[in-house]
Structure 1
Amino acid sequence: MTVLLQAIVASGAGWLLWKIFRTLTKTSPLANIPGPAPDSFIVGHLPRFFDRHAWGMHREMWDKFPGIARIDAFFRAPMLYVWDPKALHYIVVKEQYVYEETINFTHFCSLVFGEGLLSSLGNKHKQQRKILNPVFHTNHMRTMTPTFYGVTRQLRNALESEVKGGKQEIDLLNWMTRTALELVGQGALGYSFDPLDRERTNIVAEHVKSLIPTFVPMFMVFHILPFVQNFGTASFRRRVLELIPWKRLKKALEITDTLEHTSKTILSQKKELLAQGDVAMQHQVGEGKDLMSVLLKANMRAIGEDKMPDDELLGNMSSLIFAAMETTSGALARILQMLSQHQDVQEKLRQEIIAARGDKEEIGYDELMSLPYLEAVCKETLRLHAPATNMIRTAMKDTVLPLGTPIRGKDGKIISEVTIPKGTGVVIGILACNVNPAIWGPDAHEWKPERFMNPLPDTVAEARIPGVYSNLMSFLGGGRACIGFKFSQLEMKIVISVLLEKFRFSPSDKEVYWNFAGVQYPTLGKTSWESGMPLRVELIR
C-alpha cells in the first residue's frame, strides 16, 4: 500500500510540475483563437464546461463564436471546441486516425467495460469493427423486427394494466430504460433481462442508468488513470479501491461488477447452447437470430485476426449493453416528452401509424422505416436533443485544421485554418453542430418535426455535415460512428408506433431537468440527483 501511494504521489507531482513548466515556457499556436474569458489557472474551464448545468456556458459559446473556440484545460493548456462542419469532417473522417480518443477515455472504458470498441484505437478498432459490422447490417435488422415487436407488446401490456383505472402519472424513464435493456438483451444478446410484466426494479438497468450520474462528478479522477492503472496486479489495485472510504467510488465498483458478471453469464450460456447445435439455439431467446449468436457462429469459423478473443467479446457485450440502453432509452424518453408537450404532433403521428398498420398485426420493417412523419419526429428529436452532446479527441501529431467559416483571431486577422500541435485536446461539438442557426436557420433551437417534411435549407446541404445519419452529428461519423445506429432507429420506431396507438401522453406537474453530460440524463429537478421523467398516461378511448 505504501509503495503504491508513494508511486501515485510521485507520478502526480511529476505530471503537475511538467504541465506547469510546459504551460509557462511554451507559446501555443492556439493562443490567437478566441474563447471565453479565463476561469481558474489550475483547472481552466473544465469544471464549468463539463458541469451538469453547463447549458448556459455552451449556449453562450454557440451564440458568440462561429464554429470553433478555445477553452482552457489544466494550467491554461489550450483545447479546441469545434462545431464547424468542415473542421468536423477532418476530425471524424479525413484525419480520423490523427484525432484519436483521449487516453483518459480509453483507460476509463477499459476499466469499466473491458476490451471492446469503446476502449480500442487504430488498427485494433478497425479490426473489431470489421468483425462486428455484418451483424448490424440492414438485412439483419429485418430479421430482428418480430423480436422487437414482441418486447414492445410486453411493455404495452404492462402500461395498460397501470392505467386501466384511468389516467396515471408514470415514470417513463424507468420503463424506457427497462425496455431498451430488454431490446438489447433479446435482439443483441439473445438473453432476457426483464419480463416487463409490472413495475419493478431491474438491478442491471438501474446500475447501467446510474453509470453516467455516478462517474461524471469523478471526472477529475480520470486524469490520473494513465499513471496508476498499471501499478501492481489487478487484484491489488481492486483491493486498494475497496479500502478508499468514498461512497461514489463504491457505487462505481458495483456498476462495473454488474456489467462484468452479466456479460460473463451471457457469454457462458451462449457458448453452451452453441455447443448443443442449431436446434438448441432456436429454442432460446431470440431464436439464434440475435447479434451475439450470429457473431459467435462467425467467430467459431474465423481464423487469425478475424477471430475475436473472449476478453474482446466480453468488452463489446458490456459496451453494447451500456451504449444501446443508455442512449436509446434517453432518446425514447425525450421523444415521448416532446410529444406530450405538442399534442397536435402526437395526434398527427398517431393517425399516420394507425393508417399504416391498417388491419395488419404490425407494420413491416420497410414500411415502418419509411413512414415520413415518424421519421421526421425521430430526426428532429435527435437533432435538437442529441443524447450524446460531445466527444473528445486528442491530436496524435502536428496537423492543420481547415475551417469552413473563417474566424477573426485575437490579433484581428482572419483565420481560415488552425495549426494543431500534437497532444491538443479537441471537443467535437455534436449538439452544437446540430443546433447551429447558420446551418439550420433562425429556428434551429425550436422543435419542429415539419422541417424534415419539407426541403431543408440549402445551407444544410452546403455544410456537408460529416454525420453518418441524415445531416446530423447525433451518431457521429467516420470510423468511430455509432455502429448500432440502425439498431437504435428500429427500436425507437417500433416502441413509439406501438405505444401511440394505445396511449395518450401529457405532461406531468413535476419538473424534469435534462443534465448536460457526455450523454444527457434527466433528473427530477435541477438540484436533484434522482433520475426520472414522469408523464401522465391514459388509454385511447
Structure 2
Amino acid sequence: MSSQLDAVYVLLAFAFVSVTLFFRKKRALGFLRGPPAKSTLLGHEFDLLNAEACTLELEWTKRYGTVFRSAGCYGEQILMVADPRALQHIYEMNYKYPRSKDNQRAFKKLLGRGILWAEGDDHSRHRKTLNPAFSAAQSRGFLPLFQSCTDRLQSRWEAALQGETKVINVYDWLSRLTLDIIGEGAFNYRFGALDNKSDDFSHILETLFTDTKMPTERTILFRAFRRSMPNWIGDLCDYYSTWFPSKEDARFANFQKFSKGIARGLLDEHMAASADYAAKKDILSLLARSPAIDDPKKKMDEDEVLSQMATVILAGHDTTAASIAWILYELAKRPEEQAKVWEEIAHVRSLNHGELTPADYDSMPFLNAIIKEGLRYHAISPLLYRNSGVDDVIPLSQPITSSSGDVITEVPVRKGQRIIFCIGSYNRLPEVWGADADSWNPARFLTLNQKKQIPVGLYGNTLTFSAGVKGCIGWNFAVLEMQAVLFQLMESFEFSMPPGVEVMRIMGAIMVPMIKDKLQEGIKMPLLTKSRK
C-alpha cells in the first residue's frame, strides 16, 4: 500500500512540475492586449466553447485588433489571429504550423490515420495520393449525381407538403442528401438516407456528436492537462481510454469500426470488379492501388487507406449540409433575394432545356454571390487550432497597439506557441469585406475588387475552406454540389421563417443550427416550405 501511495505522489509531483514548466514556457505574449480572464483555471476556453459560435472572438477582434492574446487553461496564453497578412504567412509556412496535439489526437480517435490526422511528410503523402480524385475536372463528373439525388429530395418534400405550406427541418434532410451523395459519388455505396433506409451505420452517424457540443469545465480542464503533458502521457491516456472509454470514446470507436468495415468490403468489391482500376482517378481506384505503389511519397498502408474512406464519409457530408442550411436560413428571411435567385434560374432554364452543366451554374452571378456570402458569414469551423513548430516573426497587414501602447507591425512567436486562427473574425473584417462586413450582403461579391485583397482563402478569399496545403481537398466538389442543390431547391420551393423561432449557432464538431431554449432537441433548421408548383 505504501509503495502504491509513493507512486501516486511521484506521479503528482511530476505532473505539477511539468505543468509549471509549461506555464512559464507559454507566458510569452504579455506584450499583446487581450480580454481579462474570469478564471485562472479555465481562462477563456470554457466561454469560447460554450458561447454562441463566433461571438466572443468577433467582439475581441473589434476591441483589441486583428491579433491579440486570450487566456487558456492553467494560465496559458494563446495567440488569436485574424489578420490577413499574418494568416497568409502562416499558411505559406506549410507544415511549420502543425495542428495542436489534442486536435490531432481527436482526429485519430475519430477517423484513424487519415488526411485530417496526418502532419508533415505523412500529410504530403496522403495529399498527393488523393488530389487527382478531387480535381475540378473530376468533380464536374459528379454533377448528374448531385442533380439526381436532389430530384429524390424534391420528391420527398413534395410528397410531405401535399400542396400546403409546412415546416420542414431542412438540416435533417440536407444531411441525408449529402450522405447519399458522398456514398454514391466517392464509393458507389448507397446509404439510402433519403429513402429512410436506416441501418446501424446511419444510426451511428446520427448520434456521433450527441454530447460533443458545449463541453463541461471538467472535460476542458482534463483536455488542457493532457495537452500540457509529454506525448507519451497522452498516448498512455489514449491507451487506457480503450479499456475505460467515455461515451464519446465509445461512439468514436464504433464509427471507426463500422466505417472501416464498410470500406474494406467496398475496396475488395472494387478491385474484383474493376480490372482497369490501376489507371482510374476515382477515389476508390486511387486508394485501392496505393498500398502497392513503390513510390514512398505516395504509398499508404491499409489502415491509412481505410481511414481516408472514413474521413471522406464524415467530412464530406455534414459540412456541406450545414453550409446549405445556413444559406437557406438567410434566404428564408429575405424574400426579395429569393425572387432574384429565381429570376436567374428562370433565365438559365429559358436558355437550356436539357441537363444543366457546370458552366450554367457559373453563369449565375447572384446565386454564386449567395454561396460565397453564406460561406463567409457562416464559417462552419470558425476557430482553427495550430501550434508554432518554429520560432518565427509573423507580419501584420494592419498595425496593432501593444499592451504598453506601442504600435507594432509584426508579432514574434516561440516554438510551441498555441495559436487559434479566428476564421469567423477574418471572414467579417471590415478591412477585407467593407464597412458592412458584419452584415449579410451577397451583393458585395458582385462589386468587391478581390484583386486588392491579400490572397488567403481558396474560394472567394473566404477562409471557410481553410487555405494552403491543408486547405479542404474537396472544395471543388462541395461548391458544385452546393450550386446544384441550391439551384433546384430555390427553383422548386419558397422558404420563410416560422413565427417565434430563433436559431442559434452552436459549436459541435462544426457550427450547427439549434433552436434557442430548445437545445435539448438537437440540431434543427426548421423552415416554412412551400412548393412553387
Aligned match of 1:269:
266
Give the secondary-structure state (helix, strand or coil) at the position aligned to 1:514.
Answer: strand
1:307 alignment partner AA: K
Aligned match of 1:538:
530
> Displacement of 1:477 after TM fit?
0.8
1:105 alignment partner AA: N
| Aligned counterparts of 1:165 and 1:202: Cα–Cα separation in 2 | 31
1:262 alignment partner AA: S
Aligned match of 2:331:
339
2:111 is aligned, of 113, 137, 148, to: 113
Aligned match of 2:457:
467
Q: Percentage identity across aligned positions?
A: 27
Give the secondary-structure state (helix, strand or coil) at the position aligned to 1:400.
Answer: strand
2:32 alignment partner AA: I
- Which moved further from structure 2: 392-401 or 525-534? 525-534
| Aligned counterparts of 2:496 and 2:100: Cα–Cα separation in 1 | 42
1:288-321 CA distance string (max 9 Å, x none): 9894323235537632322222111111111212
> Displacement of 1:197 after TM fit?
3.0
Cα distance change of structure 1 residues 190 and 27 upon mapping to structure 2, 3 Å threshold: closer
Aligned match of 1:92:
91
The answer on 1:129 being equivalent to 2:127 is yes
The answer on 1:410 being equivalent to 2:403 is yes
1:262-281 CA distance string (max 9 Å, x none): 232133233223213359x9
| Aligned counterparts of 2:35 and 2:143: Cα–Cα separation in 1 | 48
> Displacement of 1:515 after TM fit?
1.0
Aligned match of 1:328:
320
1:82 alignment partner AA: V
The answer on 1:20 being equivalent to 2:20 is yes
Aligned match of 1:365:
358
Give the secondary-structure state (helix, strand or coil) at the position aligned to 2:95.
Answer: coil
Aligned match of 1:245:
none
The answer on 1:231 being equivalent to 2:236 is yes
The answer on 1:31 being equivalent to 2:30 is yes
Give the secondary-structure state (helix, strand or coil) at the position aligned to 2:375.
Answer: helix
| Aligned counterparts of 2:26 and 2:320: Cα–Cα separation in 1 | 43
2:313 alignment partner AA: I
Alignment of 1:36-51 (within 5 A): 36-51=35-50
> Displacement of 1:538 after TM fit?
1.3
> Displacement of 1:206 after TM fit?
5.4
| Aligned counterparts of 1:271 and 1:16: Cα–Cα separation in 2 | 51
Alignment of 1:273-312 (within 5 A): 273-278=270-275, 291-296=282-287, 298-299=289-290, 302-305=293-296, 306-312=298-304
1:396 is aligned, of 386, 389, 395, to: 389
| Aligned counterparts of 2:308 and 2:374: Cα–Cα separation in 1 | 27
1:356-398 CA distance string (max 9 Å, x none): 1335243112222342111111001101111110101101121
> Displacement of 1:401 after TM fit?
1.0
> Displacement of 1:203 after TM fit?
5.6
Cα distance change of structure 1 residues 7 and 128 upon mapping to structure 2, 3 Å threshold: farther
> Displacement of 1:239 after TM fit?
2.4
Cα distance change of structure 1 residues 484 and 277 upon mapping to structure 2, 3 Å threshold: closer
The answer on 1:250 being equivalent to 2:274 is no
Alignment of 1:125-204 (within 5 A): 125-194=123-192, 196-197=194-195, 204=201
Aligned match of 1:354:
346
| Aligned counterparts of 1:539 and 1:70: Cα–Cα separation in 2 | 50
Is the CA contact 2:187–2:266 (under 8 Å) kept in the aligned structure 1? no
Gaps of 5+ in 2: none
CA RMSD of aligned residues (A): 2.8
The answer on 1:503 being equivalent to 2:500 is no
Aligned match of 2:483:
493
> Displacement of 1:14 after TM fit?
2.9
Cα distance change of structure 1 residues 168 and 4 upon mapping to structure 2, 3 Å threshold: farther
> Displacement of 1:47 after TM fit?
1.0
| Aligned counterparts of 1:113 and 1:210: Cα–Cα separation in 2 | 15
Is the CA contact 1:467–1:474 (under 8 Å) kept in the aligned structure 2? yes
1:148 alignment partner AA: F
Give the secondary-structure state (helix, strand or coil) at the position aligned to 2:29.
Answer: helix
Give the secondary-structure state (helix, strand or coil) at the position aligned to 1:393.
Answer: strand
| Aligned counterparts of 2:249 and 2:512: Cα–Cα separation in 1 | 17
> Displacement of 1:518 after TM fit?
6.0
Cα distance change of structure 1 residues 227 and 53 upon mapping to structure 2, 3 Å threshold: farther
| Aligned counterparts of 1:537 and 1:342: Cα–Cα separation in 2 | 14
1:322 alignment partner AA: L
1:124-167 CA distance string (max 9 Å, x none): 10111011001001111121111221211111111111112411
1:486 alignment partner AA: N
Is the CA contact 1:186–1:192 (under 8 Å) kept in the aligned structure 2? yes
| Aligned counterparts of 2:207 and 2:420: Cα–Cα separation in 1 | 24
Give the secondary-structure state (helix, strand or coil) at the position aligned to 2:235.
Answer: coil
Alignment length (residue pairs)? 518
1:397 alignment partner AA: V
> Displacement of 1:466 after TM fit?
1.2
Give the secondary-structure state (helix, strand or coil) at the position aligned to 1:428.
Answer: strand
| Aligned counterparts of 2:234 and 2:489: Cα–Cα separation in 1 | 46
> Displacement of 1:229 after TM fit?
4.9
Aligned match of 2:79:
80
> Displacement of 1:55 after TM fit?
4.3
| Aligned counterparts of 1:517 and 1:62: Cα–Cα separation in 2 | 22
| Aligned counterparts of 2:9 and 2:208: Cα–Cα separation in 1 | 28
> Displacement of 1:21 after TM fit?
4.4
Is the CA contact 1:186–1:290 (under 8 Å) kept in the aligned structure 2? no
| Aligned counterparts of 2:136 and 2:6: Cα–Cα separation in 1 | 53
Is the CA contact 1:409–1:415 (under 8 Å) kept in the aligned structure 2? yes
The answer on 1:444 being equivalent to 2:437 is yes
Aligned match of 1:285:
none
Is the CA contact 2:94–2:469 (under 8 Å) kept in the aligned structure 1? yes
| Aligned counterparts of 1:147 and 1:6: Cα–Cα separation in 2 | 64
Aligned match of 1:246:
none
| Aligned counterparts of 1:9 and 1:187: Cα–Cα separation in 2 | 55
Cα distance change of structure 1 residues 22 and 179 upon mapping to structure 2, 3 Å threshold: closer
> Displacement of 1:524 after TM fit?
2.2
1:65-93 CA distance string (max 9 Å, x none): 22111011122221111000110011112
Is the CA contact 1:177–1:209 (under 8 Å) kept in the aligned structure 2? no
- Which moved further from structure 2: 367-376 or 25-34? 25-34
Is the CA contact 1:52–1:517 (under 8 Å) kept in the aligned structure 2? no
Cα distance change of structure 1 residues 259 and 163 upon mapping to structure 2, 3 Å threshold: farther
Q: Taking structure 2 as the reference length, what is the TM-score of the superposition?
A: 0.90
> Displacement of 1:496 after TM fit?
0.8
Q: Taking structure 1 as the reference length, what is the TM-score of the superposition?
A: 0.88
Is the CA contact 1:259–1:318 (under 8 Å) kept in the aligned structure 2? yes
